[in-house]
Structure 1
Amino acid sequence: MDPYREKEMMTVKKTLAALTMTLAMPISALASEGAERLADILEPLETYVADFEQQILDGSGQRLQEASGRMWLSRPGKFRWEVNAPYEQLVVSAGEEVTLYDPDLEQATVQALDQRVTHTPALLLSGSADELTGSYDVTRRQQGSSETFILVPKDPDTLFEELRMTFRGEALNLLQMTDSTGQRTAIEFDNVRMNQPVDDSHFNFEIPEGTDVIRDTQ
């Protein structure tokens, strides 16, 4: 795979891992004032649909990449992430496997979902609240009508060093991730729809004939 496209796919992996963690995880048992407030917001959430604009910045703040598209998420563990520009990409899961599809390269990678979110880790989807309470430090900051939650993993072997979630009202408006190299990914959401019916067909994907398929589902 082209190094640029490989790097972009890794960014998509990090993004979906973080989104899956924050929007699909059962966090009602988290202990701390910030975590309890985050649970109050996320626990009623069943579905989430939004447009997104994504920017990737290096450690000095220089813009490296931009992308835009639309996402669908249904708890627990179902998601669809469509990148429409600058080129098409799709990441989709119905809950057990996840498919990363690049139509330009005519290539699809299929992985078990727990492998897909390696290092964030699979317990975030499995409902192990006891493990979760010991895995992340959660703090909260209020600024006007916006609330920002900062999640710092206690285990250094993760996809990110810090995850920030900003809500306006009850809607997730901004997701920011910083990795060990200082690279930052900022995803801004718009046209948000929460807890409205989402057809399961969004989470099913039939790989087109002739696609080069790489499977890693062990």
Structure 2
Amino acid sequence: MKKISTFLLLLSLSAPWAWAQTNEANTEAQKQPDPQQLLADLRADLTGLSAQFVQYELGSQGEQIDPNSGMVWMQSPAQFRWHYLQPIEQLIVADGDNVWVYDEDLEQVTVKQQDNELNPIYVIINDEKSQQHYDIRYETQEAGHDWISLTPKNRSEDVKTVWLALADDVVKQIKVHNHFDQTMVFEFTEIKRNPDLTGGLFQFVPPEGVDVIKAVDE
């Protein structure tokens, strides 16, 4: 009986503190930007974009592992072109039906059906796919960037969480974290909204003489 009375006393003493903490948390939540509105502003009138990018894996000490750089073009709702320039040239083209990967040095093209619904690129250019496949929440603001997280509604080995850094209605950075505790980072600069995307930019015809390999999903 004494133990119960002591517990009730502690509970009664802590109740105002708990209420204050809850109230403070609710007030803080009210101050946070709406992640859905941030994404809506990002995609407002967006039909396409282009940017320079740097891609690397984030090491345990925050170091950049295997950095790559190049140019990227995207067009709503599902087309993109990634052109890696450094340290090795490689081209990836998604035409809406298939994804083509061209390794010029190997004289080889790999093609597979474009069916990865969790591709982080869709977060930028396809509102329907991101809303359908991700739970979206606001995380924090840091160095003038609003960070939001997107967690797959269905478990995926490739994607555990996608983090977006937003500023000035564009994506400045994407972090893709998987279930193996690996984080891939994409940093974007020289971003242009709705650039003049030339015809054929998102089409790929294998060069004559290269090997074409059809990838089979496991």
Bin for the TM-score computed over the shorter chain: 0.7 to 0.9
Contact 2:56 2:67 in 1 (8 A): yes
Shift of 1:36: 3.4
Amino-acid identity (%): 28
Shift of 1:98: 1.3
What is aligned with 1:9? none
TM-score (norm 1): 0.73
User: What whole-Å deviation, never above 9, does each CA across 1:134-175 have from its counterpart, x for those lacking one?
Assistant: 632211233463211111112112521111111221121111
The aligned length equals 182
What is aligned with 2:159? 160
Residue identity matched to 1:179: N
Which sections of structure 2, spanning at least 5 residues, go unmatched? 1-32
Once residues 145 and 132 of structure 1 are traced to their aligned partners in structure 2, the CA distance between those partners, rounded to angstroms, is: 24
User: What whole-Å deviation, never above 9, does each CA across 1:31-72 have from its counterpart, x for those lacking one?
Assistant: x93223312322421111000011112445454311000000
What is aligned with 2:77? 76
User: What whole-Å deviation, never above 9, does each CA across 1:18-38 have from its counterpart, x for those lacking one?
Assistant: xxxxxxxxxxxxxx9322331
CA 1:63–1:196 in 2, change beyond 3 Å: closer, same or farther? closer
CA 1:185–1:124 in 2, change beyond 3 Å: closer, same or farther? closer
What is aligned with 1:10? none
Q: For residues 105-120 of structure 1, what are the structure 2 equivalents within 5 Å?
A: 105-114=106-115, 117=116
Once residues 110 and 103 of structure 1 are traced to their aligned partners in structure 2, the CA distance between those partners, rounded to angstroms, is: 14
What is aligned with 1:213? 212
CA 1:213–1:194 in 2, change beyond 3 Å: closer, same or farther? same
What is aligned with 2:30? none
Shift of 1:100: 0.7
What is aligned with 2:179? 180
Q: For residues 83-162 of structure 1, what are the structure 2 equivalents within 5 Å?
A: 83-114=84-115, 117=116, 129=128, 133=131, 135-140=133-138, 141-143=140-142, 145-162=144-161
TM-score (norm 2): 0.73
Residue identity matched to 1:159: D
What is the root-mean-square deviation of aligned Cα atoms in Å? 2.8
Bigger Rg over Cα: 2
CA 1:62–1:191 in 2, change beyond 3 Å: closer, same or farther? closer
Once residues 162 and 199 of structure 1 are traced to their aligned partners in structure 2, the CA distance between those partners, rounded to angstroms, is: 33
Moved over 4 A (4+): 118-121, 131-134
Q: For residues 34-73 of structure 1, what are the structure 2 equivalents within 5 Å?
A: 34-59=35-60, 61-73=62-74
Contact 1:150 1:162 in 2 (8 A): yes
